[in-house]
Amino acid sequence: MSQEVGPRVQRTTGNRVTMQQVAAEAGVSVSTVSKVINGRYGVASETFEHVTEVINRLGYEASLVARSLRNSRTNVIGVLVADFEPFSTEVLKGAADAIRGTGYELVAYSAGGRVDEHVGWERRYLSRVMGTLVDGAVLVTPTVTDVQYDGPVVAVDPHTGPSRLPTVAADNLQGARLGVEHLLELGHTRIGMVTGRPDLISAQLRERGYREALAMAGVPVDEALLERGAYETDLGKAAARALLMLPEPPTAIFAANDLTALATLEAAAELGLDVPGDLSVVGFDNIPESALAHPPITTVQQPIRRMGHDAIAMLVALIAGDELAETHPILDTTLVVRRSTAPPRTPRDTAPGGTR
C-alpha cells in the first residue's frame, strides 16, 4: 500500500513529527519541549533557543488532537452542519467574520450529507466533538434542539420550537407576510402556496404568515391553493404543478423556500407559462441561486451571514461564562424584489372570477 520512501528513522505515525522526535533530536526531554512550545517559565534561554531551532528545522507543530485530549480548553469553535450547502456555507461566512480577533479557530464538521440516515445527527456530532475537540459549538439548522447539553452550544435556524438551547433565527412569520403582501399589493388575490415540511417550525410560521397576510387583506384562504413542497425540489415541483393545473389556477405562488420557488419556475416553464407574465413567484431565503434564475426571483431574505455572526458572538460570550442578554434573538427579514413578480394579467377589479 505504501512504498518505502526514504529512511524511516524514528518515525511512528506516518510522516508526523512528534514531540518525542523533537526531544530526541534536541537532546532534552519531552516536557522541556512542551514548556518551550507553550512558553512556560523555567527553561534556560540557551535551551529555549536550541529547542526552538530544532522545532523549526523539523517543522514541528503540536497535534491538535493530542493537545485537545489533554487540555479541557482548545481554543477551537465548532460549527456543526448537516451538509455544506448554500445556507450553511453562508452561515459559515458569517461565523468566520465574527471569529476574527477572538483568538479562536473555526472547525466546520459535516455529517457528509447522510442526514436522514439518523435524525439525531446533531446530538451525535455534538458528543463526538464537544469537550474534546471544541470548546463550544454552533448547530446549523438542527431538527431537534432538546439536546440536553450543558456545554456552550448555540443553534442557528432551528427547525423546531424554542428550547433550553440559545438560538438565532430569522423572523419567518414577518418574512412570509412581507412576501405575500408584496403579491397582494401587485393586485394578486388568487395566491397559492407551496408549503414546507410540516414538522418544522419555520415552515409552520411561513404558512401562518401567508394566512395572516391574506386575512389582513380580507382575502379568504382557499385550502385548495396550498400544496406541500417540503422544502425540497422534487416535491416542490409536483406541488407547483398541481396548483397550476387547477381549474382555476393561482396567478401567483408563494414558495416556502427558494429551492421550491426555483422548482415552481421549472414547473411553470414546462406548462408554457411566462413568469412573471402569467405567474408571479416569491421565494424565501435569498440563497445566491435565486438571483441567478431566469427570471431572477423575488424572495424574502434571511440575514444568514448575520445569523452566523451573532451565533458565534453568543457562543464566545457563553464560553467566557457571561450571561446572554438575549437567548432567542429573532432577526428581521426583508423583501428582495427581482423580476419574478408583476401585476396579474387580470386585476381583481376587472372581470373577477373569469376564466383565463
Partner DNA sequence: CTGTTAGCGCATTCAG
Partner DNA sequence: CTGAATGCGCTAACAG
| Interatomic CA distance for residues 245 and 233, integer angstroms | 18
Minimum distance, C-beta of residue 48 to DNA, in the bound complex (Å)? 7
- Selected range binding DNA among 41-49, 99-107, 209-217, 300-308, rule: CB under 7 A: 41-49
| Interatomic CA distance for residues 228 and 108, integer angstroms | 32
Spatial contact of 301 and 307, defined as CB atoms under 8 Å apart: no
- Selected range binding its own copies among 124-132, 164-172, 221-229, 246-254, rule: CB under 8 A: 124-132
Q: Does 10 bind DNA (CB under 7 A)?
A: no
151 touches which of its own copies, DNA, none (CB within 5 to 8 A by kind)?
its own copies
| Interatomic CA distance for residues 16 and 12, integer angstroms | 8
H/E segment holding residue 80: strand 76-81
41 touches which of its own copies, DNA, none (CB within 5 to 8 A by kind)?
DNA
Extended beta strands in 105-258, E state: 105-110, 136-140, 153-156, 167-170, 191-195, 226-228, 252-255
Q: Does 70 bind DNA (CB under 7 A)?
A: yes
Of positions 10, 29, 274, 320, contacts DNA by CB under 7 A: 29
Q: Does 40 bind DNA (CB under 7 A)?
A: yes
Q: Does 75 bind DNA (CB under 7 A)?
A: no
Cell of 287: 440563497
Closer residue to its own copies, CB minimum distance, 14 or 220 = 14
57 touches which of DNA, its own copies, none (CB within 5 to 8 A by kind)?
none
Of positions 20, 29, 31, 127, contacts its own copies by CB under 8 A: 127
Q: Does 67 bind DNA (CB under 7 A)?
A: yes
Closer residue to DNA, CB minimum distance, 18 or 251 = 18
Other CB atoms within 10 Å distance of the CB of residue 16: 11
Sheet of 298-301, strands arranged across: 226-228, 191-195, 252-255, 280-285, 298-301, 334-336
